[in-house]
Amino acid sequence: MASKVLGRPTNDKLILSKDDILKEALKILDEQGESGLSFRKLAKAFNVTAMALKHHVGSRQDIIKSLVEIVYKNVNEITITSNSKDTIRTLLGNYCKCVFRHPNVSRLLLTDHSLINKELIDLTNSIRTHAISLVNDETEGILFADVIVDYTHGFALAAASQNEKTDLGVLTINDFYKGIDWILARV
């Protein structure tokens, strides 16, 4: 039986970094889902104890919050434009691409709203602001924003969850843009 390294590694051994641990955690979450993400699996990947990992990354919830930060870090980055339709399209496309890359992080967001961070709140507020300007009515603008955000969640999660071709083929980001463009053309 191989001996297990106890505690934090010494200076002459593997140096744990929060970034490396989070990269591995994201890999596990992507491949195995939420139930696959455990300190035991992470510790095994680094040949250390779970306590050594906790020293660097905190609790499991802290890891998941950090993964949300990583996955959605640049979701609000767009070229400045005065066209609200283009801005909405780009922002929702950015979000959709994040979900495509890491659907299990997005599933966690939908089940635990405490994971919603400033970046995602800013995204929602920006979409609402632009939706209000499109329809020239605050109440209807917020309703319109809610509808297109729900469409985006549904499409992105369905597309990211595909294990095989559907009757429509494999859904892509271009399919998302066709749908959102159709919706935006009616406003």
Name which residue leads in pLDDT, 96 or 6: 96
Describe the crossing of helices 39-46 and 50-57 by its angle, rounded to 10 degrees.
Answer: 100
Residues paired with residue 166 on neighbouring β-strands, in sequence order: 169
Residue 11 pLDDT exceeds 50:
no
The arithmetic mean of pLDDT across residues 66-72, rounded, is 96
Of 128-137, 138-147, 161-170, least confident by mean pLDDT is 161-170
Say how far residue 133 (Cα) sits from the centre of its chain.
Answer: 27
The arithmetic mean of pLDDT across residues 108-113, rounded, is 88
Measured in residues, the chain has a length of 187
- Tokens standing for 87? 């801005």
